[in-house]
């Protein structure tokens, strides 16, 4: 059981890392997106195990695929929501007050 959950976390971390490299973060911390992707993988993997009736096993390819889909969805939603609140303007420093 624990190995399956660790597998979901690893899938989420890898997909979150790839998503953070593909998306312009505009100065945002990439660790937040990676964490959200890992959380999405855990949630969707757990939901798949619960609704399919399969227990959490060491290696279930369908469950890992669903966890990867959840990680992609979580990363996409995070970066979509976060991009609305991060300024697109260039940051300038003041020369004087």
Q: Within 10 Å of residue 72's Cβ, how many Cβ atoms? A: 19
Residue 6: per-residue pLDDT = 86
pLDDT digits 0-9 by tens, 15-24: 888 887 887 6
Residue 90: per-residue pLDDT = 62
Our count of domains for the chain comes to 1
Average pLDDT over residues 15-41: 81
Residue 89 lies in a domain: no
Residue 65 lies in a domain: yes
pLDDT digits 0-9 by tens, 42-80: 898 888 888 887 777 767 788 888 888 888 888 888 877
Question: In terms of C-beta density within 10 A (0-12 exposed, 13-18 middle, 19 or more buried), how is residue 10 classed?
Answer: middle
The single residue listed with the structure tokens 């945002």 is 28
Q: 49: domain range?
A: 2-20+28-82
Residue 92: per-residue pLDDT = 59
What is the helix (H) or strand (E) element at residue 76, kind and residue range?
Answer: helix 61-85
> Of 76, 78, 66, 77, nearest to 41 (Cα)?
66
Angle, vertex CA 94, rays to CA 91 and CA 97, nearest 5: 150
């Amino acid at each position: 059981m624990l190995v399956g959950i660790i597998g979901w976390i690893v899938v989420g971390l890898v997909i979150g890392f790839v998503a953070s490299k593909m998306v312009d973060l505009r100065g945002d911390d990439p660790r937040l997106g990676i964490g959200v992707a890992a959380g999405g993988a855990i949630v969707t993997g757990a939901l798949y195990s619960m609704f399919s009736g399969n227990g959490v096993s060491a290696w279930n390819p369908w469950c890992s695929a669903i966890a990867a889909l959840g990680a992609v969805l979580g990363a996409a939603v995070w970066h979509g929501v976060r991009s609305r609140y991060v300024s697109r303007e260039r940051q300038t420093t003041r020369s004087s007050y």
